[in-house]
Structure 1
Amino acid sequence: MPEQPVSVCDESVYDQLYREHAEKICYYLYYKYGDMEKAQDIVQDSFAKLWMNCSKIIFGAAKSFLYKIANNASINEAIHQKTVLKYKSTPQKAYTNESPEFQMEEKEFMDKLNQAISGLKEGQREVFLLNRIEKKTYKEIAEMLGISVKAVEKRMHLALVTLRKKIGKI
């Protein structure tokens, strides 16, 4: 008799998914967007959406579903925050040993880098940040995103080519 597929609607399976992936997704979002509280909120929302759609999601696709939902929610939040920040002034450091010229150049470079990274295609940005910020291997990234290692390599290559064109060698 064939084995029954594992149901995400089973509370023990859902709990297992949460224990295995919640923290990883949270750190992924935190490294990608820099806001731990917002990352935790998005993780909770993502798992709530998984539960609401549990009958439609097969166990093998639950991880990629969670990452996709979390990433899309983060992108929407980032777009919202950019709009909000556009109208707020940025606070200045109270004291620093760095010259004003260095501070200005550093800020310009960081702005340029952040703009270049945010301008990458979603898949390229995701692979770039997972590799360079989270120090994930291409194999780990491929498993996490449900794609081949070759696809990860191609996305990273395209991301680096794009970034080099926009800001020079990093």
Structure 2
Amino acid sequence: MPKKLFNNVCEEQIFSLIYKRFSKELYDTLYYRYGNQINTKDKVQDAFVKLWENCKNIEFENAKGFLFVTAKNLGLNEIKHNKVVLNFANTAPTQQEEEPEFIKEADPKLLRYKEALEKLTESQRVAFMLSKIEGKKHSDIAEILGISQKTVEKRIYAALKKIKEAIKK
């Protein structure tokens, strides 16, 4: 009986070889079959993740078949899911964009606060939300946004000033 050269798909080099050999072909096949109905790149990646999770049970010779069947099933599942979502969206009652009257009357300050947040510049709003809503320190915000801590402080101060003015009206 001849010895199998590539028996263990779990070995990194063999898995890498499988990926290089079949990923483009798998992508093309899924794209031609489903078009824009599914996210083709995600399905290719998901198929390779499934292969990795089951690598001990799959021989090298069966890897291609496993990938293509898995990717096809993942694509069909996504299409079915999209149909369910579409049916639900068509049958579900639409939400009104305006808030109910009793909410408007209940807290006009809250409405002015929301409006003030919308009027802030994006940079001010991001810095303000990270500080006041998520409770991040100014140094952490500066690191996240890639700006100086002084700039963060100026943005938050300007945002607070605008919000206070809007609420007082």
Give the TM-score normalised by structure 1.
0.47
Structure possessing the higher radius of gyration over alpha carbons: 2
Name the structure where helix makes up a greater proportion of residues.
Answer: 2
Give the TM-score normalised by structure 2.
0.48
